[in-house]
Chains A and B, each alone.
Chain A
Amino acid sequence: MELLIAPAPQSAAWSRRGVPACKARGQEARGKTSGSRRRLPRGWRSEVKGLLQTDDRIALKEITRQLHLENVVGDKVFGSFAENLAFLLEALKKGDRSSSRPVLFILDEFDLFAHHKNQTLLYNLFDVSQSAQTPVAVIGLTCRLDVLELLEKRVKSRFSHRQIHLLSSFRFKQYLEIFKMQLSLPEDFTDRRFAEEWNQNIKSLCEDRSVEDVLQKHFCSSKDFRSLHMLLMLALSRVTVSHPAIKPTDLLEVSRLCTMDSKANILHGLSVLELCLIIAMKHLNDIYDGEPFNFQMVHNEFQKFIQRKSHSVHNFEKPVVIKAFEHLHQLELIKPMEGPSVRTQKEYQLVKLLLDNSQIMDALQKYPQCPTDVKQWAASAFG
């Protein structure tokens, strides 16, 4: 679900060699970045990333460096921001279509560039692409569908409005194909015998019912390749000399790892006291319908439970309970409402529980040797 934006390429050569090529590649693998890369040798293009070049000053330096303009000495760019901008613009202005080398600008995380002050860089790049200067093509990569709305009016007017949406519209069958392709070894692999065996194994893996189920589930939750790669990476890391092939059980295991609920895992590691506090909070949540609470309320609830079932849980001192409460805070199972700047007494700081009832109940089911009283307390409607 990603979007590739390519303002009008200046020269005819570019539209042939640059943009549609990206498009074709994008459709097959949805790699917007890798698609736009690999097209041209370095020096022809300049690639800036919104996450690294967080403002125009840095982006300009990076562009100048990558284009090897003359104010670059070694790896350093000299001059102030204003000088750099003037220099780059001057350089681009000097060129013309017939004589100067076309330049490709790739802006990764394009939407972040739109947040730069005045959108100076975008305006200038678009303006150059729309005027009879050095032929440039600007390709912006972003995953935001609404990126055009971020552009200022005059910047938007200079943008050619060419958008290529790389959407994964494939079906499960194709997904399975891709899965197979990703795992298969190439024909020219050095150890040919191993390659054959491996590919055979992958083929059988694809036909396995349980594997298909795992993939189906994965496909349902997300179509993007990064998550598929994550899954396959975990599976591949289980391959050793003694275990030379991926077994369906491996995949099952890995899939379980991938889809595990992280918070439920944390709950398994809590002490009974902490669990009791969580249950007390759950009850408070139920009573007050999600309103925030503080330690004192939780402690009260806990005391009530202790008084009723004094034999099952040891009656802890208040400082011990506070410690347990703080531990929950550190685990981020509870979250204070105010920021750390607001100074209130610890006992009265308002907090919220970051767990759903279902998660708590699931965790209790799986918690080893959980006292029955505690379980019952959790299940009961009111503390």
Chain B
Amino acid sequence: MSRYFTRLKKRRVYSWIGGPSFIDRKLKHMFYEGLCIKTDGNTNTGCIRPGHYILIEGDEDRSYVAKLLKLYDDGTGTRSSKHAEVQWFVRFHEVPQNKRKRLGRDPHPNEVFLYEIPNCDSDIDAETIITTVQVQHLEENSPFPAAQSQENSLYVKLSWDGKSFSPVNLDLLLQSGGKPVLPASSHTDSLPKPDLDVSRGLAVDSPSRPTRSARQQHSSTSKYSQSKELSDRQPSNVISTPTARKKLQLSNSVKPPGSKLTRDDVLAELLDEDRAVSSLEAEVTRRRALASKPSSSPSKKPRDLCISLSPIRGGQITQDHQLANGTQIGPRLQPEELVKRTLKRESRAESTEGETPSKRKDSIKIDAPLDILIEDGGEVGGPVVAVTPRSRRKSAQVSSARIQQQLNYLNRKQSTDFDVDDDEEDVFLPTKKDLKSSSEEESESVTGRRGSRSAVPRTPRSSRKAPSRTPAKTPNKTPRRTPSKTPVPRTPRTPRHATPSIPSRTQPTRKPGNVLEEARARLHVSSVPESLPCREQEFQDIFNFVESKVMDGTGGCMYISGVPGTGKTATVHEVIRCLHHAAEQDELPSFCFIEINGMKMTAPHQAYVQILQMLTGQKATAEHAAALLEKRFSTPAPKRETTVLLVDELDLLWTRKQNVMYNLFDWPTRRQAKLVVLAIANTMDLPERIMINRVASRLGLTRMSFQPYSYKQLQQIITSRLNRVRAFEDDALQLVSRKVAALSGDARRCLDICRRATEICEFSSQRSGSGLVAMSHVMEALDEMFSSPYITAIRCASVQEQIFLKAVIAEFRRLGLEEATFQQVFRQHLALCRVEGLSPVCMSEGLTTCLRLGACRLLLLESSHRDLHLRVRLNVSQDDVLYALKEG
């Protein structure tokens, strides 16, 4: 999607145009005809009037689109007293994720939808208006103009009412604005020109010029050999490159990954978009653009063209950039500005109106062979005068096509994955020779089309191009472009694009074969039950809480506690499922649900990263993500839907300063955030125990505690899960649930025992043949899970190990302590060996025995380097040891 560079640190100054045209006395609103936007450090201003389509500051660097209906001042005289009433448009990415598929087709990148949700806040602060934008209405089934490079014009075909897409009611659209919506091209003219500056944040500006001239010098000397330079360059000339960059992105985004875009494709596409004669070659178009000026004032022709060429020749700037620059800055050229300029390169491709003075000035610099150019210009001359406003765009297309070509080529060269067409390679090899051939080819095609053309006029161009494509530039450009653009799995960064997945299985899963298997499948914790029995009250509370917040569009926090396995997370998920269902039925505004889990992140600060990624799909570092989220939740966005955030295992988000928790609970309190936070943890008094006051206070007092299940509830849970599959005897079920309820009330445990019991039953029924899980099976399962393994372990130990345990007890009794050194125990051990009639063991063996008992934790030992003085304790009660040894 196109990004508007609204975040430039240019302050805009807003002022009303003229006096109030109409005053609402009741509300003390004064309505105005227009709004004047002046950018800092810039003389020119932009005017916005009702009926214009505007861009409004949004979050995440994306701007909102709307149509301006009214402008008024609420008369308070404060800074934010300027208001505007708008009709919103939404971009596709603003449509809720789950409803996007209702469009039924891929959205056009520049497509917007009329936003027809009635209760949306349409009153905005006028000072958030960035600029105007072109919005064109298209018939529902007419194709989009395929223009990719025209990023500042948007198309509207359908409207979005929160449920479905429907064709735009054109009348409505017309009514709502002051001026009729002008389809297509005439629209461009209706836009006041200065606005474009503002729209791109392109201040006309001194900054742009130094950058460029600096660059020229660079290029002539170092040929951009260092990538650092390039990276310097990119951000530094926001002023001049945004369009170029955007165009690249756009054309790139359409290109399916891996598919190659031939040059002709690009050109054709670009030309189509422009609604120019699609069969025209780019060169021709460009030619016309150049020629358009001469036609208006023939005497200026040669100079004019030369102006466009001279800087390139002198400074060897890349043609791509220059062209891009030219196109952008072009429309801004007003006579009065032009006078002030020193560098007039841009004037080349522009509207004919009033450029005379500037061209004169510039012509001083000309040192190019004029004759050829004159010939060129003279030849093409006539036809295109009327097309002027468009022609600048064409030249832009040509340039972007070039960039595209080059990128394509470079990408292709880098990644061997792409198979390269031979002829294409010929065309795009960045050596001088090939450049010539490419220009020849171009000229040939031109000749083919136009007939009257000769290849001669091309020559200056090719010579011009050559430096711009010198190999020195090649490595320069690639590292920056390739990683972000091509999903080629070679570079180290690509794993970011990897999709997480597990290979699919070779054999299909078996269907449960008998009742017991069926029961086992149903009893697995993972199988989602139809309902959650025994948590009705909690369900209702949470449901009401979230529902009310979603309804009101407000925020809030809720803290949910309970021991593990009491259904906290499951209940919340169930609530969300129901709410989603309700939202689908349109009983509720739609909302988005995200879930984070303290255990599923490596550090508390990763919470920001995960939230951001789930909200917007962006990846960022923790600090950056925190900043972005902060911004998102503190800026007003009337169309934003409520976010429900589930924070599981809250206690793990604890940090020393508790920043993460603080933020999580602070955001919901913001008016614009529309954030509902459900926090889950095990301990009931977590807020009091670990949170500092300001965090606990923000968490609020909406608490809920999940009690451990009682045996009746557990029984009900199992029964509801089994759902009439009869696999258990009633007594058996009761035994399980009573046992678990007495121990922990953990439903997971209960289900595990039941599953195990079915297994035991299955195993035994292979011999005996009874189908139901009986008491005995459950008992066996319980024994397996809850009996302590120590006694069996002692019984299975070797004789020496048993004697050593006896020796430990004997020594304890002698000392009257529960601790002894190995030396002491070993003496007892030797004595016992003699009593038992065994040959005494040596010290090394005794120590080995002792350590072996320590490894399985029958004994608790110090680290073994203390040797004889190692302290020994029992990890089992003495009675257990004696009991185990007596029986054995």
Residues of A that sit less than 8 Å from B by CB = 1-3, 8, 10-13, 15, 43, 56-57, 67, 69-73, 78-79, 81-82, 85-95, 97-103, 118, 120, 123-124, 127, 130-134, 143-146, 153-154, 156-158, 160-163, 165, 167-169, 217, 219-224, 259-264, 332, 335, 352, 354-356, 358-359
Query: What's the minimum C-beta distance from B374 to chain A, rounded to whole angstroms?
Result: 57
- Can you give 27 contacting A-B residue pairs, CB < 8 Å? A8-B525, A8-B755, A10-B526, A71-B495, A73-B489, A82-B602, A82-B603, A87-B500, A100-B505, A101-B505, A133-B526, A143-B856, A144-B856, A146-B857, A146-B875, A153-B563, A154-B649, A161-B753, A165-B792, A165-B793, A222-B798, A223-B797, A259-B845, A263-B844, A264-B843, A352-B869, A358-B830
Which of B494, B506, B752, B798 has a CB less than 8 Å from the CB of A101?
Answer: B506
* CB-CB under 8 A for A356 and B843, given A70-B501, A120-B602, A131-B525: yes
| A153 to B708 Cα, complex, angstroms | 14
Nearest Cβ on chain B to A98's Cβ, whole angstroms: 5
Instruction: For residue A192, give the distance in angstroms from its CB to the closest CB of chain B.
Output: 38
**Shortest distance in angstroms between A71's beta carbon and chain B's nearest beta carbon?**
4
B508 contacts A by Cβ under 8 Å: yes
Which of A87, A167, A224 contacts B792, CB < 8 Å?
A167
**Which of B652, B748, B790 counts the most chain A CB atoms within 10 A?**
B748
- Within B746-783, the residues touching A (CB, 8 Å) are 746, 748-749, 752-753, 755-756, 759
Question: In the bound complex, what is the Cα–Cα distance between A261 and B830 (angstroms)?
Answer: 14
B852 at the interface (CB under 8 A from A): yes
Q: Do the beta carbons of A91 and B564 come within 8 Å of each other?
A: no
Bound: A11/B609 CA distance, A: 33
Among B601, B649, B746, point to the contact of A82 (Cβ < 8 A). B601
Residue of B nearest to A167 (CB): B796
Asked if B419 is at the interface of the complex by the 8 Å CB criterion, the answer is no
**Contact segment of B509-517, B530-538, B715-723:** B509-517
How long is the Cα–Cα vector from A221 to B489 in the complex, in angstroms?
Answer: 58
Q: Which of B285-293, B390-398, B430-438, B834-842 sits within the interface?
A: B834-842
Report whether B500 and A90 are in contact in the complex, using a CB–CB cutoff of 8 Å.
yes
Please tell me the number of chain B residues within 8 Å of chain A, measured between CB atoms.
87
Residues of B within 8 A of A98 (CB): 508-509
Shortest CB–CB separation between residue B530 and chain A, in angstroms? 14
- Apart from A13-B509, A352-B869, 19 more pairs, CB < 8 Å: A1-B796, A1-B856, A8-B524, A12-B509, A70-B500, A79-B495, A98-B509, A123-B600, A124-B600, A131-B525, A157-B748, A161-B752, A165-B792, A167-B793, A220-B800, A259-B844, A261-B845, A354-B867, A354-B868
B498 contacts the other chain (Cβ, under 8 Å)? yes
Taking CB atoms, residues of chain A closer than 8 Å to B563 are: 153, 157
Q: Is B848 an interface residue (CB 8 A)?
A: yes
B383 in the interface (beta carbon within 8 A): no
Assuming the A-B contacts A81-B602, A92-B502, A130-B526, are A219 and B798 also in contact, with contact meaning beta carbons closer than 8 angstroms in the complex?
Answer: yes
Cα(A332)–Cα(B749), bound, Å: 51
Q: 7 smallest A-B Cβ distances: which pairs?
A: A157-B564, A70-B498, A91-B500, A261-B842, A71-B495, A167-B796, A90-B500
Residues of B within 8 A of A (CB): 489, 492-496, 498-510, 512, 517, 520-521, 524-528, 563-565, 599-603, 606, 609-610, 649, 652, 682, 744, 746, 748-749, 752-753, 755-756, 759, 784-785, 789-790, 792-793, 795-801, 823, 826-827, 830, 838-839, 841-845, 848-849, 852, 855-858, 866-869, 875
Which residue of chain A lies nearest to B746 when distances are taken between CB atoms in the complex?
Answer: A157
- Distance of A368 from chain B, by nearest CB (Å): 20
In contact, A88 and B500 (Cβ under 8 angstroms): yes
Given the complex, which residues of B lie within 8 Å of A56, measured CB to CB? Answer: 602
Point out the residue from A3, A134, A358 that lies within 8 Å of B789, measured CB to CB: A3
Q: How far is the CB of A218 from chain B (nearest CB, A)?
A: 9
Across-interface contacts of B869 in A (CB, < 8 A): 335, 352, 354
Check if B752 sits within 8 Å of A335, measured CB to CB. Answer: no
**B500–A69 contact, CB under 8 A?**
yes
Contact across chains for A132 and B528 when beta carbons are under 8 A apart: yes
User: Contact partner of A102 among B505, B753, B849, CB < 8 A?
Assistant: B505
Number of A-B contacts (CB under 8 A): 225
A-side contacts of B839, CB under 8 Å: 217
> Quick one: which of A13, A85, A352 contacts B600, CB cutoff 8 A?
A85
CA–CA, A40 to B429, complex, Å? 52
Q: How far is the CA of A364 from the CA of B480 in the complex (A)?
A: 80
A39 CA to B489 CA in the complex, in Å? 33
CB distance from A264 to the nearest CB of B (A): 7
Partner of B503 from the list A71, A100, A168, A222 (CB cut-off 8 Å) is A100
Pair B495/A220 contact, Cβ less than 8 Å? no
Could you tell me the distance between the alpha carbons of A332 and B867 in the complex, rounded to whole angstroms? 10
Q: Which of B492, B565, B842 contacts A157 (CB 8 A)?
A: B565
Asked if A261 meets B505 with Cβ closer than 8 Å, knowing A220-B838, A221-B849, the reply is no
Interface contact B500-A145, CB-CB below 8 Å: no
Question: Which residues of chain A come closer than 8 Å to B848, judged between CB atoms?
Answer: 221-222
Q: Tell me if B789 and A132 are in contact (CB < 8 A).
A: no
> Which among B502, B749, B793 has the highest number of chain A CB atoms within 10 Å?
B502
CA distance A57 to B245 in the complex (A): 38
Inter-subunit contact A67/B748 (CB<8 Å): no
CB proximity of A185 to chain B, nearest CB, Å: 29
Q: Select A145's contact among B508, B528, B603, B856, beta carbons within 8 Å.
A: B856
Residues of B within 8 A of A154 (CB): 564, 599, 649, 682
Looking at the assembled complex, report how far the CB atom of B63 sits from the nearest CB atom of chain A, in whole angstroms. 30
Contact B752 A160 (CB under 8 A): yes
Q: Are B502 and A94 in contact (CB under 8 A)?
A: yes
Contact B505 A99 (CB under 8 A): yes
CB–CB B501/A131 < 8 A = no
> Smallest distance from the beta carbon of B800 to chain A beta carbons, Å?
4
Task: Provide the residues of chain B in CB contact with A3, threshold 8 Å.
Answer: 789, 856
What residues of chain A lie closer than 8 Å to B502, measured between beta carbons?
A: 67, 91-92, 94-95, 100-101, 103, 134
**Once the chains bind, are A124 and B749 in contact (CB under 8 Å)?**
no
